Amino acid sequence: MRQGEFDALLRGHAGLLSRIAASYEADAALRDDLLQDIALALWQALPRWRGEAPLKAFVARIAHNRGATHVVGQMRRSPGGALSEQLVDLKHGPDEYTQQEQRRRRLQDAVRGLPLGLRQAVTLALEGFSHAEIAAALGIRVNNVAVRLNRAKGALAAALGEGA
Amino acid sequence: MNVQDDWTRWANTWQQQPAVDIDRLRHRVNRKLWRMRLTATLELLLNAVAVWQTWRLIAHPGFEWRWKLWAAFAMLLVLVVQALFLLARRGTWRAPGSDAGDLLQLTARRAVAGVRLAKVNAWSLLLLVVVTLLVAVPELTPAHWQHDAKFRSLVLLQCALNLPVVVFGFMGCAWYIRRQRRRLREVQALLRECED
């Protein structure tokens, strides 16, 4: 793969990659490291892509796989599930931007607190993937996707304090 | 609020996250690629130097046969250890599939292989130390070095250089085994999460 093509691919999927990385790592510096690992994994994997799945799904799959292995070793550091105190304190932010930022971070924390299987399905659902696309990207059955998303919805609503 | 509304609302919030600076990411990736190439080249060079030095010891006419035998043994040991490394790494090169579960299984297999490799390293290091001491016994008798200040300095220098290497070698193996076992437990916990 030429450097130009790889750059274009990274630019085209910058948002998707950033959000998937954020679903695995809260710390900004470690998230940068994870993004670097994801980009390297993409560089190595892309020559094997034959167009059997949409490029976006392929990229998401590689990113999730790298994210899953990143979680190994980080488990003791991040308890998962609990919202950080800083975010709770931001609840009374002065303007709309702060509130939006707070909602975004609360959602990130809630997603990171989900078990791995649910988290992967949820991040793809939030990216607008259909059930069939999620099933293809994660290598599971479509029925299983529906079950996971249903369970994840309850867990997310509870973590966000919205009630299922 | 219905289920679809929840997902739509969350998706809107989710997608507002800032994207990574791609130029910076690309530079970091390029740097890492160069570091990986450099490390591989350096490892190759170090191995070549080690083999060349051992061969020089065998071929040099000034050394006693005991040390030539020791050099041959060391070279054989390196080959045997490398063969054991390859054996322990069977099935750890590539995941059978490409989903997260397959990748985690691969990580678990690598952790198990890592424990085996560290044990092989520790035992081979012990073997090398024992054989080296046995070969060096005649030189280590006090009569041999007591009246030869130059030789005494050489023995002391060898001890000062090699003792920390051996001690840190064993400590490193023990630390690595503990780390890989912890990693294995973490992977197994994640695999259970994946199966849920």
Which residues of chain A lie closer than 8 angstroms to B22, CB-CB? Answer: 7, 10-11, 14
Confidence at residue B98, expressed as pLDDT on a 0 to 100 scale: 61
pLDDT value of position B132: 92
Q: Does B194 lie in the same domain as B133?
A: yes
Domain boundary among B11, B34, B62: B62
Quick check: is B6 in a domain? no
A15, A64, A69 member nearest B107 (Cβ): A69
Looking at the structure, tell me whether residues B94 and B58 fall in a common domain: no
Domain boundary among B14, B31, B62: B62
- On whether the A81-164 domain is CATH 3.10.20.70, my answer is no
- The alpha-helical segments, DSSP class H, found in B15-99 are 22-59, 65-88
Residue spans of alpha helices (H) in chain A: 3-12, 14-22, 28-45, 55-71, 85-89, 96-112, 116-126, 131-138, 142-159
Tell me whether residue B118 is in a domain. Answer: yes
Distance from CA of A119 to the nearest CA of B (A): 10
Q: Is B123 found in the same domain as B84? A: yes
Does residue B70 sit in the same domain as residue B41?
no
d(CA B169, CA B164) in angstroms, rounded, equals 8
* Of the residues B6, B30, B62, the one at which a domain ends: B62
The C-alpha atoms of residue A80 and residue A77 are separated, in whole angstroms, by: 9
Tokens of A57: 């799904």
> Nearest-CA residue of chain A relative to B7?
A126
The answer on B42 and B99 residing in a single domain is: no
Q: Which domain holds residue B52?
A: 22-62
Give the tokens for residue A73. Answer: 């070793």
Nearest-CA distance B181 → chain A (Å): 11
Contact B193, A116 (CB under 8 A): yes
Q: Which of A22, A68, A63 is nearest to A39 (CA)?
A: A63
| pLDDT attached to residue A33 | 86
Rounded to the nearest angstrom, the minimum Cα separation between B2 and chain A is: 10
B56 occurs within a structural domain: yes
Name residues whose C-beta falls within 8 Å of residue A34's C-beta, 6 or more positions apart in sequence: A21, A24, A25, A66, A67, A70
Per-residue pLDDT of chain B (196 residues), as tens digits, is 565 688 899 999 998 888 888 888 888 888 888 887 888 888 889 878 888 888 888 888 878 888 888 888 988 998 898 888 888 878 777 666 666 777 788 888 888 988 999 999 999 999 999 999 999 888 888 887 777 888 888 888 888 988 999 999 999 999 999 999 998 988 888 887 776 6
The pLDDT averaged over each successive group of 10 residues in chain A (164 residues) is: 80 91 87 89 84 84 86 58 42 66 88 90 92 87 91 91 70
Claim to verify: residue B148 and residue B79 sit in the same structural domain: yes
> Nearest to residue A72, comparing CAs of B27, B45, B34, B106?
B106
What ipTM was reported for this prediction?
0.76
B85 and B134 assigned to the same domain:
yes
Q: Does any domain span residue B12?
A: no
Residue B149: inside a domain: yes
Which among A7, A18, A116 has the least Cβ separation from residue B190?
A: A116
Domains contained in chain B, number: 2
pLDDT per position as a tens digit, A101-114: 888 889 989 999 99
A71–B contact, CB cutoff 8 A: yes
Residue A157 contacts B where some CB pair is shorter than 8 Å: yes
Single-letter amino acid code for the residue at A149: L
Tokens matching residue A61:
């799959």
| Spatial CA neighbour of B109 closest among B95, B123, B129 | B95
CB contact under 8 A, B6 and A64: no
| Exposure letters B122-158 (e unless 16+ CB within 10 A, then b) | bebbeebeeebeebeeeeeeeeebeeeeeeeeeeeee
Question: Between chains, do A107 and B13 touch, taking CB under 8 Å as contact?
Answer: yes
Query: In terms of domains, do B87 and B176 share one?
Result: yes
Q: So what CATH class is A1-78?
A: mainly alpha
Residue B42 lies in a domain: yes
B1, part of any domain: no
Which amino acid is located at B70 in the chain?
W
Give domain status of residue B169, yes or no.
Answer: yes
Is residue B116 located within the same domain as residue B134? yes
pLDDT of B104 reads: 80
Structure tokens at A110: 């809630």
Q: How many Cβ atoms are within 10 Å of B195's Cβ, its own excluded?
A: 10
**A118: chain B residues, CB-CB within 8 Å:** 196
B20, B24, B31, B94: best to mutate for the A interface, most A CBs within 10 A: B20
Query: B28: nearest CA in chain A?
Result: A36
Residue of B nearest to A157 (CA): B6
Q: What is the pLDDT of residue A83?
A: 38
Residue spans of the domains in chain A: they are 1-78, 81-164
